[in-house]
Structures are given as C-alpha cells and as structure tokens.
Copies of this chain bind each other. A is one copy, B any other.
C-alpha cells in the first residue's frame, strides 16, 4: 500500500520516495536511517509489513525528526510497538483485528495538532476524534468483533505472547524452507522476512500447481501467491494456530519426498 499512500498524498502536497527495493522486486526492507529522510518532511510513511512480498520492518526506522506514519494493516497487534517517533498508525481490521470494514487509527496529539483540518470532514482525523469516532454511523458489528478480538489477545497474554507465538510459527515455516536443500525458496531476503506472510516458490510452476491442489485436498487452503509474485504464500496472522503451520510444514516435507 506504500505506492497508493504515495499517489494519494500527491493530491495534498509534494511527495518523495525516500527508499525502495523495487529494483530487486521488493525482496527486502531498503536500508534507511536518519540520513535517508528529509528532516523537514511533514511525515515519513512506511508500510510495516508487506503481505505480497513477505517483508517486514524488524523495527521502525529512525527518521531524524519527521514523524512516522505507519500502515500496520497486516501486522498490527502481532508484537509490541515502540511508539517513539510515531505520529500516526493506521490499520485495516481485516488481518489481525476483526472483519473487514473497520480501520484502527492511533494518532499522537502533537501530530494531530499540526494537520491541516480545512478539508472534507470524512478525511479529517480531528473531526472523527472530536465526534468520539462516531462522526459517521460506525460499523457496529465490526466494532463488536474488534472488542472480542482485543479481549482474546489480552487473555492469551497480550502482545508479548503474540510476538513469541508469531516468531515461533514463522521459524517453523522458514526452517522448513531453509532446510529443504533448495527445493523451497523464499522470496524475501532473510533479514527482511515477515512473521506474517511467507511467500515461497517450488522448482517449477507445474510443481506449484500440483502442490496447491494436493494441499487444498488436505484442507490447507488459500496458499496461492499474489499474482505479482506467483508461487505460494502462507499467511500466518495472529489467528493462525501453531498447529496450522505445523500441518503445512509436514505437508511440505511429504510433498518434497514424493516429488523431489
């Protein structure tokens, strides 16, 4: 969504791409630090986790002054967050929070104060805040489900427990890839690997089709990669239990044995 955030921001001001890994098909988080960003920028936008290419910021970058605006749609509530330097976080609910149709926004008061509020109310975070998040009729069912999901996260031990579980789940799957002797290959560079989305390839497209069909027959579904990357992709959000990842790893081993 970084590309969309760039394009949309262009309607309201000047925009610059500070860092990208486009030339290597977005297979890594580009190196970035205070020297990468313009300290006079109103904000620096990042997407903390990329669902398509399976990359994730290990931690938020230091910008050297400009507040961070973070699209956390696909890794919100997956681990604790260091809010230092963050001006605003937004996240569509549909990955880790609840049903689609709801967006969570966290905004720092000083960042809110610096915004231009002279615009359509629906685009003004201040209007929404002033109306207690009820400027328009809220999506009540989604809000109710969000409440239940947050209660569940709390019961499970909060974000520290979520992070431990997610790291352990991702390790299972990345180990299955790394220990396959090159039969399975991950898209993302190791240091940029996502704990939420794991895209990987097989030796041929034929084998990938066979893998998808046989996996689906065993109840392992929704494993096709995004059309822009191809191959396979396992999404292992908060709601995916460790047992689900283990079942996929077992299937991967059996498939390699039969088709290696």
Contacts and interface: CB of A to CB of B under 8 A. Distances in A.
A86 to B, nearest CB: 23
A137 B102 contact: no
Contact of A8 (B92, B120, B139, B142): B120
Nearest to A99: B141
A140 B11 contact: no
Say how many copies of this protein the assembly contains: 2
B100 A140 contact: yes
A119 interface: yes
A140 B137 CA distance: 17
B11 A139 contact: no
Interface string A223-243: 000000000000000000000
Interface of A: 4, 7-8, 11-12, 92, 94, 99-102, 118-123, 136-142
CB-based closest 10 A-B pairs: A101-B139, A100-B137, A101-B101, A99-B141, A100-B140, A11-B120, A94-B137, A100-B139, A8-B120, A141-B141
